[in-house]
Structure 1
Amino acid sequence: MKFYLMHLMPYLHLDPDYDQIHDSAWVTLPNSYYDPKKGAKLYNRYLDELEYGDQLGFDGVCVNEHHQTAYGLMPQPGVMAGALARRTKKVKIAILGRALPLLNNPVTVAEEFAMVDNITEGRFIAGFVRGIGSEYHSWSANPALSHDRFHEAHDLIVRAWTETGPFAFEGKHYQFEYVNLWPRPYQEPHPPIWIPSQGSSETIEWASHPDRRYTYLQTFTPVAMLAKYMQMYRDKAAEHGYEATEEQLGWSVPMYVAETDEAARREAKPHIEAFLNKFLRMPKEMLLPPGYLSLKSMMGVMKAKSAIGGKQTIDDVIDKGMFICGSPETVRQQLEEYRKQIGFGHLLSLLQFGTLPADLTRKNMELYAGEVMPYLRQSAAAAVEAAQ
């Protein structure tokens, strides 16, 4: 089992009363709310936290891509990955991930990722996503073309990484007379590819195909739905004639660890509720624009996301398993139970969320790394040994 430190890099200085005027922190929130002096300090604080994850013994650190939002200040995650590449020594660096359908030139991502892979000497994980619906509003992109553009961009990037150039690429959306990647990736045949998702059945089927067997990462979702999507991946793999391993399954979830259950809830409450009710808030038509999902996937994702509709409390998300919060013992027990029931090989912990300040983030990281991760590592290793 591997442990990763995930960061969203929110603009936590957002005016708490913004929602009296605006219906979302995404796309339409005026950037007059952003103070570059405060934002500059936040960027450096957040990079410090990810670098500290290297010292604390995490297996990897993760950044992602969002546009025109206070939810996450990483419209170009490669900038963050490049900064981390030279300042970390052991952790893998994951971009989870680039929104491929938004790209006008996917070869630039092949180049960018290959550079980070070289600088880190193979400590890089490539994440590819379609991007949530709001990104299509930010980018003025057609969501109905999302699937086609994703698959074509993916194919072009993988070919650029693995085929000797120059070669021509003639697709529906992308055409190149010369594809000839300099530099080539450090890892052979290319960096591992992870596919984060909200639970699209088409994405699960595509990622599990034997030609790919990509790691599927389920993001912020009730644990009952998590179990369903993990099992869906296993079932699809079985249909293709192979058994999916835990290495192909990952879960991303916010967590908070304090000395006692009571302290954890008290300290986390205002910050996780700001995350839920301020930063995540957006109209349904912004999250799921027409044409973005098939009807089947739309129904599944709407069911999963209905759990975070309306005003949410810390108790709501703890009860659904969407937020892990408590003493080290409580968090250990809950994560161990989920690991045994569901089975996943990658656990991505969001240890800064919403408005959580630097001191509490640092404490959360230290308690989780010092008193939760070692126990789960031993337990997972013992389970593997017993199964052999």
Structure 2
Amino acid sequence: MPWPDLPDDFRERYRSVWVDIDSRLFEPRRGHEVYNTYLDQLEYAASLGFDGIGCNEHHQNGYGLMPSPNLIAAALARRTRDAAIVVLGNSIALYNPPVRVAEEFAMLDVISGGRLVAGFPVGTSMDTNYCYGQIPALTREKYAEAHELIMRAWREPEPFAFNGRYTKLRYVNLWPRPLQKPHPPIHIPGGGSVETYDFCIDNTYSYSYLSFSGYLRARALMEGYWERVAQRNTPDSSPYRAGFAQTICVAETDAEAERLYAEHVLYFYNRCLHIFPGFADAPGYRTIKTIQSGALAQYGARFRYQPMTWKELIEGGHVIAGSPETVRQRMEDLIRGLRVGNIFCLLHVGNMPNEKTMYSTRLFAERVMPALRGMWPDYAGDDRFWCHPLENPVTPAPLARGFAAAPACDAEVSP
């Protein structure tokens, strides 16, 4: 949900789209239209048969207008029926107390009829360390404690006391409890820490690499993940243990894709990812193990993009764009090359207007997505990493108009 009205000279006039961006660039009346348009696009995707629709959490920026993804998810839960509500996710180290995440995710799971897919990101350095003031070297320790509290709150039916370093609660007694048992499936967004590999393996969570560098540059990192899965003697190497986010633009031809979408893709990469390098990696945010691994050479510049052309973005795999056939072929290369079972399709890009977004979304759903569904037939029954909705969920009542009549009585009563 990027802000679509950043000025043409944004890179020259402002040092960063994140943390210290001039808040006067946000115009609330325009924001009213923007938020509702983005919700329309997500609901439209749900109507086209996407397995899920997603939202995430970021703060003080023009890159993504979702400081509270749970508010977006709640709106989507009432206006959709079948699609999973994928919240990738709540930055759990920022919540005080973290049991708030357990409560709100439980509410979303119950309201949606068991359609929640939950996410627990550590959060970018911009969000956690600069916007919310968390001490960088303690962020992951605080994250681990928050995760322990949330999981205990979901699993333990009796009230318990929690005496952590950062959170101390005499009574933890979750109301409401999540519909899915023992808890909703969990995806962990990654993009900067090799410790996340082990965390996902230990807890049977899906590791989701979220990057705007595209699938070609992601291979080294994802190969490292699968090597770690093998080293740990993990019982299986199901592709649903992993996910990847990819920017996608579909048109009738490759030439039409460039004509329709180039300006919006360039807006995103050249303005929405213009981040002051000092905000991207606060000292202490990366662990020593991650630095020693050399992994930062692959993804350390995740939010440090120099101006690029359409050709550079396409050839580099940052963006998959073109005709349905072109997109299908490149998506198959991505899925096989990275061995991923969960694809997060970034179909709205930058300041792309509504009609173009819906056009690209429809073409992908109708002419690309069906060819991709059966790519992992040996793992078709692996449902550990996806939600389990009710078979007959409640259907929201139609909006009433005017005054409602009084309910009829079963019998007349006389004095």
The TM-score with structure 2 as length reference comes to 0.87
Residue 266 of structure 1 is matched in structure 2 by: 259
Q: Does 1:280 pair with 2:273?
A: yes
Q: Give, in angstroms, the shift of residue 265 of structure 1.
A: 1.6
Does the Cα contact within 8 Å between 2:238 and 2:379 map onto a contact in 1? no
Does the Cα contact within 8 Å between 1:273 and 1:313 map onto a contact in 2? yes
Summarize the alignment of residues 1-388 of structure 1 with structure 2, pairs less than 5 Å apart: 9-135=1-127, 136-209=129-202, 212-220=203-211, 221-242=213-234, 243-298=236-291, 299-306=294-301, 309-378=305-374, 380=375
Change (3 A) 1:305 1:354: farther
Identity %: 39
Q: Map Cα deviations across residues 232-288 of structure 1 (whole Å, 9 max, x no partner).
A: 222222222222211111010111001100111222211111111100111221011
Which has the larger share of helix? 1
RMSD: 1.6
Which segment drifts farther, 61-70 or 234-243? 234-243
Q: Give, in angstroms, the shift of residue 115 of structure 1.
A: 0.1
Change (3 A) 1:383 1:156: closer
The one-letter amino acid paired with 1:163 is: E
The TM-score with structure 1 as length reference comes to 0.93
Q: State the distance in 2 between where 1:361 and 1:20 align.
A: 28
Change (3 A) 1:382 1:106: closer
> Helix, strand or coil: the match of 1:97?
coil
Structure 2: segments with no counterpart, 5+ residues:
381-415
Q: Give, in angstroms, the shift of residue 202 of structure 1.
A: 1.1
Does the Cα contact within 8 Å between 2:192 and 2:286 map onto a contact in 1? no
Q: State the distance in 2 between where 1:382 and 1:331 align.
A: 21
The one-letter amino acid paired with 1:262 is: A
Does the Cα contact within 8 Å between 1:10 and 1:73 map onto a contact in 2? yes
Does the Cα contact within 8 Å between 2:244 and 2:343 map onto a contact in 1? yes
Residue 3 of structure 1 is matched in structure 2 by: none
The one-letter amino acid paired with 1:53 is: A
The one-letter amino acid paired with 1:369 is: A
Does the Cα contact within 8 Å between 2:162 and 2:171 map onto a contact in 1? yes
> Helix, strand or coil: the match of 2:108?
helix
Q: State the distance in 2 between where 1:98 and 1:302 align.
A: 27
The one-letter amino acid paired with 1:303 is: Q
Aligned length: 374
> Helix, strand or coil: the match of 1:325?
strand
Which segment drifts farther, 213-222 or 312-321? 312-321
Which segment drifts farther, 215-224 or 366-375? 215-224
The one-letter amino acid paired with 1:366 is: R
Q: Give, in angstroms, the shift of residue 317 of structure 1.
A: 2.3
The one-letter amino acid paired with 1:176 is: L
Change (3 A) 1:320 1:295: farther
Does the Cα contact within 8 Å between 1:199 and 1:229 map onto a contact in 2? no
